[in-house]
Amino acid sequence: MRKLLLGLFTLLSFPAAAQLADSFADGNFTQNPTWAGDAASFQVNSQLQLQSNGPAITGTTLQLVTPCQAATGTTWEFYANLKLATSSGNYADVWLMADQPDLKTTGTKGYFVRLGGTPDEVALFRKDATGSPVYVVNGLDGSLASSTNNVVRVRVTRSPQNVWKLERDPTGAGTSYVTEGTATDATHQRSNYCGVLLTYSAANNRSFYFDDFRVTDATPPALVSATPVTARQLDVVYNELVDAAPSAVSYRLAGAGAPAVLTAQRDATDPALVHLTLGADLALGNNTLEARNVSDLYGNTATGPLTMSFVNKGFPVAPGVNQVLITEIMADETPTVGLPASEYLEIHNPTAGTLVDLGGVRLQKAGSTTGAVFPAGATLLPGEYAVVCGSTRATQFASFGKVFGLTNFPSLGNDGDRLLLRSRTGQTLFEVSYSDTWYKDNRKKDGGWSIEMVDLANPCAGIDNWTASTDVSGGTPGRANSTKATKPDLTPPALLRAVALTPTTVRLFFGEKLDSTTAANPALYALTPAAAITRVAPVSPDFRMVDLTLAAPLVVNKPTTVTAQRITDCVGNAAGPATSAAFALPGTPAPGDIVINEVLFNPRTGGVDFVELLNRSAQYLDVHGWQLSSETVTGTDVLDITTEPYVLAPGQLVVLTTRPDVVQNHYPTHDAAAFLAMNSFPSLPDDAGTVVVLDATGQTLDRYTYDKSQHLALLDDLNGVSLERVRPEGPSLASNFHSAASAVGYATPGRPNSQYQPDPGGDKFFRIDPEIFTPDGDGQQDLTTVNYRLNQPGYVASVTVYDAQGALVRHLVRNETLAVSGFWPWDGLSNQGRKAPVGYYVFYIELFQPSSGLKYDYKRTVVVGARL
């Protein structure tokens, strides 16, 4: 039997030349066509019929098979005579279609006609890989009732629509067919063999006669399906086996601009399958394939055109930058408004035609080494939204559409966080740094409401393009955002500052996210004085920074200007005019180079503390590694200012706070570029304390002891009022600080102080400036100063203020040891803390030199005025 199977497989390797037809007129069954199997148990008798001649043993089964691949649109005919009484042990199965040559094995699949059996019938059966045969058409019982002569001619047809028809002619002539029935069955579409399988008892070993086998396929092939396999490969399936060498010109895709078919290749193992290779990507959506002049194995040609419509849903591709967005954030889920009490994110595929493959994409917080990874097979359709949450919370969002429940879903900070989506290769696909100010609604930020991206076409924007959801449930997980609107980014990127990290590395800081590809072009940058740039590297994850590598080292404290032009942000806005920034390689700080310029220690409700520093030196100084300290009676609180390079130019201000956005919201007239966010802030008591600035070596650069009593006594409410340095060059003492003016909102973070006074200079020992002042807290000449410049140090002075009638008003200074120069401010208040009336006043100055014992008296006049 093994030799038989090998021989049959060899025969099958050659395509059939015609339909099957065998009347045994040549006196044999071993050629034209070749039947194989239990060949020794069959013979062609003198009447030129195929006759069984097996062993006379009850329970014997015999088989003969011949290759035949006809399967649909086919007619099968044969003559038979069973000269026996049919029964459960005496019957014949004529196989029309079989997938393998061994008809005896239980795994053979196909269709056969059973002659006889217990019902003594002619019936059509289907055989699957497992289980017993099942009826397709159940013939008339008793139609083969003779015990010696059961002549019958059988005809079976299968239409291209898989409708089977079974006919029987009891005369055997083929002219008087009776229909046994019809049925539809499309289970098996392929055939490799047809044949006979006999079962008999000992007395009937020579009682089976067959003749006139004919298999006719007169119908052309029909298209069953067309399936996109890749963007440029289409698999076409027919209802039957087709020609071994299909022509590419037989195929075309309908529609203007449709890709051409380059090649057509029949599958090596499934002759009904043809692989088409296209010249361009297949269009998404509905498509139509046309096929002409396609032939089956028997020469039946479909002149066509045959047409098949199909839908191309796209093929998952790894997402690029901004091809998967975080469009909604529920960071504070309680108290609930109408959504599940669970943190979630919403992601969105903003593309019009890209099926995004999320497998391996990582969701994580900035700086974290762990993250939540999307599973293999996770996809996002063009325009589709999905909810992302913790793995144990996925069922809570099942009703909202597509949900990805991820292990290691990051905990979302209520006040804010920085979230990243990274590709399998580590590329940053999307980044968002949100805070609770993005709600723009104090009630909603307390919990139960999400924040939503407003314009999905502007994914790089921050607070301006996000706001609290307006949906009554608190958010819109898995669907379009309730705040959806057009809010395009029309602003080109601006260069905020530049920092020399090393003598040959300069880092540029931009105001928004850049297109990292265009930003890497060295031709976009230039230095003055000229210096060669050897490398440009945009810095991930948000690409707001660009590092330039220089060919030659910079000189310490030598000012240099970098210019950037045609820089493009991540949504395509290109900078028009060149944008520039000055920088220098920073020097080494000395005490007093950096001073405390303004302090807010008692913020208004919802506000935060801040400390403003001023670089009053002639050096460029890097605050990287510096510390800000608060000293109180209970201890010292020392915290790092920044772990990143941040250089202050001469005369530059920087505002230190944990929440620049809050400070900027409370004091709108600010310079946003002057703010430096600290991760945490030292505690500043509301009544009194000491602020200290230390450099990276621990050296104290400046120290200021504040007290609420230093505020203008006329103020009824000190909340939200800062103390400002009056003279930059003056000492960090209470006498050099004053309450910020009401006219500027009681604080000036990031811009010149409202109470700033220049040094009047001059060659006199004592000078009053201004000589007329209006102490009303509006920031316009709120105080006057007694300025001194002496010939040597070591003097001691007392200053007293009298009114025009000579009455004592204020002891301003008592026995104070003086430096060579300095000043004393008077805020117009008396010793009792009351505002001095409008009028003339006299400063009586007593100057004493202990080394010589000399004493000098001076009088200077000042006017307390009022604005009408």
Q: What 3 state SS string does 793-824 have?
A: CCCEEEEEEEECCCCEEEEEEEEEECCCEEEE
pLDDT above 70 (res 807): yes
CATH number of 594-744: 2.60.40.1260
Q: Can you tell me the distance from the alpha carbon of 599 to that of 612, in angstroms, rounded to the nearest whole number?
A: 6
Q: What is the pLDDT of residue 748?
A: 93
Out of 3.60.150.10, 3.30.70.930, 2.60.120.280, 2.60.120.200, the CATH code matching 2-217 is 2.60.120.200
Task: Please give the pLDDT value at position 346.
Answer: 98
Q: Which CATH number fits domain 495-583: 3.40.50.720, 3.20.20.70, 2.40.30.60, 2.60.40.1220?
A: 2.60.40.1220
The pLDDT score that the predictor gives to residue 496 is: 87
Across-strand partners of 277? 233, 263
Retrieve residue 24's tokens. 């045994």
> How far apart are the C-alpha atoms of 625 and 644, rounded to whole Å?
8
Contact at 8 Å (CB) between 123 and 94? no
CB atoms within 10 A of CB 45: 14
CB 830 within 8 A of CB 739: no
On average, the pLDDT of the chain sits at 91
SS3 249: helix
The closest of 672, 679, 610 to 644, measured between CA atoms, is 679
Q: Which helix (H) or strand (E) holds 516?
A: helix 516-519
- 266 near 247, Cβ under 8 Å? no
Each residue's pLDDT tens digit, 362-373: 999 988 888 999
The sign of the dihedral angle between the CA atoms of 678, 683, 685, 686 is positive
- Given a cut of 60, is residue 483 above it in pLDDT? yes
The proportion of the chain whose per-residue pLDDT surpasses 70, expressed as a percent, equals 97
Residue 345 near residue 374 (C-beta atoms within 8 A): no
Query: Of the candidates 659, 450, 491, which has an alpha carbon nearest to the alpha carbon of residue 575?
Result: 491
So what's the pLDDT on residue 2? 33
Domain 223-312 adopts which CATH fold?
Immunoglobulin-like (2.60.40)
Confidence of residue 764 (pLDDT cuts 50, 70, 90): low
- Flag whether pLDDT at 228 surpasses 60: yes
Span 207-236, mean pLDDT?
94
The amino acid present at 358, given as its one-letter code, is L
With bands split at pLDDT 50, 70 and 90, how would you rate the model's confidence at 663?
A: very high
Q: Among the CATH numbers 2.60.40.4070, 3.10.105.10, 3.40.50.150, 3.30.70.1060, which is that of 766-864? A: 2.60.40.4070
Residue range 145-174, pLDDT digits in tens: 999 999 999 999 999 999 999 999 999 999
Domain ranges of the chain: 2-217, 223-312, 325-468, 495-583, 594-744, 766-864
Residue 779 has pLDDT above 80, yes or no: no
Q: In the predicted model, is pLDDT for residue 438 greater than 70? A: yes
Segment 90-104 shows an average pLDDT of 97
pLDDT tens digit sequence for 521-532: 999 999 999 999
Same fold, 2-217 and 325-468: no
Q: Which of 179-183, 469-473, 648-652 has the lowest mean pLDDT?
A: 648-652
**Banded pLDDT at 11 (limits 50, 70, 90):** very low
Query: Quick one: average pLDDT of 633-658?
Result: 93
Is residue 671 over pLDDT 60?
A: yes
Question: Which pLDDT tens digit goes with each residue over 204-218?
Answer: 999 999 999 999 998
What pLDDT is attached to residue 575? Answer: 62
pLDDT at 13: 35
Helix, strand, coil shares of the chain, percent, nearest 5, are: 10, 40, 50
Listed in sequence order, the residues at least 6 apart from 86 whose beta carbon sits closer than 8 Å to its beta carbon are 115, 116, 117, 120, 144, 150
Per-residue pLDDT, 492: 83
In 3D space, the residue among 383, 254, 247 whose CA is nearest the CA of residue 314 turns out to be 383
Strand partners, 316: none
CA angle 382, 384, 388 (to 5 degrees): 130
pLDDT in tens, 309-359: 999 888 888 999 899 999 999 999 999 999 999 999 999 999 987 899 999
| Angle at the Cα of 735 from the Cα atoms of 733 and 738, rounded to 5 degrees | 105
Fold of 325-468: Immunoglobulin-like (2.60.40)
Q: Position 632: which residue type? A: T
State residue 859's pLDDT score. Answer: 84
